[in-house]
Structure 1
Amino acid sequence: MSTTVSDALLEPTRRPAAVAALTEVIDAEVADKSGLGGAAVKAGYAAAKRLGGDFVASATDRLLPQFASALDPFWATKGEQPFGAHLASQPEAAADALLAVTDAKAANTSHGAAAKVYGSLRGKAKEHVVAALPRLGTAVERVVA
């Protein structure tokens, strides 16, 4: 196995599986949302999906190098612990590292509609990312195993 999670996720034969696994995590996390906040997330996600046929998977693929690099320090310190549990054990740091990637992308995008959708959801994004950490870690581990 590669020494870093980014090496493993970005390896050309694994990258399509990584994108598919992460897109499945996003789909599942959105589907699990409920209540008023969940309705807002679902509406925003539906709007993002309407931006282009495969917008979510394409965006995931474009951001994968930065997301994978953000996960490298966590992967390096996980030891024998399952990666999802390791990420969940440091939710603030893990969520901040991942959100730094999307914040930078949103700040520099030429896709105004995508930036607007992101901006409307950003306020609650950290709690959603924290909730997704166990599922994210499990998906990453499945891809790199």
Structure 2
Amino acid sequence: MTPAIDSLKKAGVPFAVHQYSHDAHAESWGTEAADKLGLAPARVFKTLVVAQENGTLAVGIVPVAGLLDLKHLARALGCKKVAMADPKQVERSTGYVLGGVSPLGQKRRLATVIDHTAQQFETIFISAGRRGLEVEIAPDDLAAQLDARFAGIGK
């Protein structure tokens, strides 16, 4: 189906797939997912790719209702500064198009930090690798699959 879903199946991790009809004119892909699936925006997380000062890419996963705090993400990654990565670089590196970037099944595993608010939920929703497709997964299972850590990176 998508590399994200394939990676979860291969790992034997419990998850559920949720599909909705994507509107190409939606202003916010993450908010659209929450609205169309009838979910609280705090449970739906977006995958954001950043570039560290040395050019290395990394991932921050935050609720769609909030923003990524670049300073806090840099601190969690152990570097001085990060900036949002160039969209073309994101697509080349991850293999996904913007609005459908999943932290799972990327071409290369990137250092990943998940906002600590994910831990307050039994399951969260992340992109399954295509607009209109979400994966529901336990936060700890997601972190284990990505070798990620939790930190306060949202605002």
Q: TM-score, normalised by structure 2?
A: 0.30
Which structure has greater helix proportion? 1
Structure possessing the higher relative contact order (Cα contacts under 8 Å, 6 or more residues apart): 1
Q: Which has the higher strand share?
A: 2
